[in-house]
Amino acid sequence: MSNIIRKTRFIRVAGISQLYTGAIKKYSIKPENLIIPSRLMKSNMGLVPTQVLSSFYTNLEQYSKDKDCVINIMKDINFPLEDPLKGWLSNCRDVSTLITRLITTINMMQTGSQLSLSYKKNHLIWSYENKFINPKSRIHDNIRAICIMISYLKHYLGAGYSPVNINIPNTLNQTSLYEEFFGSSISSHSSRAEVWISNDDFSKNNSSFSRAMKSFTFSSSELNSLFEIPTPDDIYKTIYEIINYCSYSEFPTLENVSQVLDVSQQQIQRQCKKIGTSFTEIRGVVLSNNAAYLLSSGWSVNEVSEKLGYENVDSFNRMFKKHKGITGKMYFNNIFDTLY
């Protein structure tokens, strides 16, 4: 079980939200068929386990009936990442800064991916790979990552920009479709997704773009959110985030959490015990934190109790008081007494 936990990685909603909404719009796919809870997709900093992301790609291809669904969606998206990351990436002085920020952004946005820069024959080679995505779904993840890179390069260098070469280490359904969109040849000589950029393009500094730049900063809360992502060895945080993920669609139980991890319920319980806690305890922390956020946003105790999936308010109040020290109603009153 600990090995499975340590193999669990996450991606932020900001990295896939436009692909998700684009799939619904372009192919009229019902949100429930895309696996990821629609309520979670409203939170850019929300975390989706890579096991779920793999299933999302599988269902996207299945319900769109289009093996080239990812590029057919993303070719119509100007900025494939959501704020606060979008603003940071669209505010670069040169291509060098842009590519450096893209690598930093993807590392903040998701765990498990391997990115690198190398030089060969006067070309810069940007490469991407995420081995934590199911092999059958990896082609879609590779194309998503390449489209993100190309989209921002086109934004900076112009709509007519094309890289020297694109490497996609998978068998494509329609190679000509990719060559037309990327404006370059497609190869499969490497085990990683690659974008080859000429050294001349890499060193470009667009002075007119620089003059149009506006001051951009992350707020402290945005920075905290970006860096609050479980590391492979943080078993508690990983279980916490998987429970939190499940809470967006239903009351989180051992059964639905074990389905996400693809392990038995007993294995989850043993792993929780090994780190000195229990599934029920971690779930209580998750739900009490979520409840506190909703209460501070103006939701009533009854509304929060129902939203979190409790059968009655008494059960919710017992949980909330255990973890926060006061009842939900007292917490709500304290918040608004302070404001008014």
Nearest alpha-carbon partner for 37 in 307, 277, 225, 303 = 307
Q: For residues 313 and 144, give the distance between their C-alpha atoms in angstroms, rounded to a whole number.
A: 43
Given 196, 211, 226, which residue is the final one in a domain?
211
- At 78 the pLDDT is 80
Q: Is the pLDDT of residue 229 over 70?
A: yes
The secondary structure of residue 312, as a DSSP letter, is S
Residue 263 in any domain: the answer is: yes
Q: For residues 183 and 181, give the distance between their C-alpha atoms in angstroms, rounded to a whole number.
A: 6
Mark whether 18 and 64 lie in a shared domain. Answer: yes
Residue 217 in any domain: the answer is: no
Q: pLDDT per residue over 162-202, tens digit each?
A: 999 999 988 888 899 999 999 999 998 788 999 999 988 87
Any idea what the CATH number is for the domain that residue 46 is in?
3.90.1520.10
Q: How many residues in the chain?
A: 340
Nearest alpha-carbon partner for 15 in 39, 50, 55 = 50
Q: Is the pTM of this model over 0.85?
A: yes
Given 170, 196, 211, which residue is the final one in a domain?
211
Q: Is the pLDDT of residue 309 over 70?
A: yes
Nearest alpha-carbon partner for 51 in 214, 262, 248, 282 = 262
Q: For residues 84 and 224, give the distance between their C-alpha atoms in angstroms, rounded to a whole number.
A: 12
Mark whether 205 and 239 lie in a shared domain. Answer: no
- At 278 the pLDDT is 96
Which residues have CB under 8 Å from 139's CB, separation 6+? Answer: 168, 170, 171, 172
Q: Is 95 helix (H, G, I), strand (E, B) or coil?
A: helix
Mark whether 185 and 250 lie in a shared domain. Answer: no
Mark whether 171 and 247 lie in a shared domain. Answer: no
Q: Residue 27: give the domain boundaries.
A: 2-211
Any idea what the CATH number is for the domain that residue 262 is in?
1.10.10.60
Q: Give the model's confidence band at 81: pLDDT under 50 very low, under 70 low, under 90 confident, else very high.
A: confident
Q: Is the pLDDT of residue 225 over 70?
A: no
Q: What is the mean pLDDT of residues 119-134?
A: 91
- Indicate the number of domains in the chain: 2
Q: Is the pLDDT of residue 213 over 70?
A: no
**Which amino acid, one-letter code, is at 251?**
F
Q: What is the mean pLDDT of residues 142-159?
A: 90
Q: For residues 194 and 202, give the distance between their C-alpha atoms in angstroms, rounded to a whole number.
A: 15
Residue 64 burial class via C-beta count within 10 angstroms: exposed 0-12, middle 13-18, buried 19 and up = buried
Contact by Cβ (8 Å): 302, 313: yes
Q: For residues 299 and 27, give the distance between their C-alpha atoms in angstroms, rounded to a whole number.
A: 35
Average pLDDT over all residues of the chain? 88
Mark whether 94 and 203 lie in a shared domain. Answer: yes
Q: Is the pLDDT of residue 211 over 50?
A: no
Q: What percent of the chain has pLDDT over 90?
A: 62
Q: What percent of the chain has pLDDT over 70?
A: 90
Residue 324 in any domain: the answer is: yes
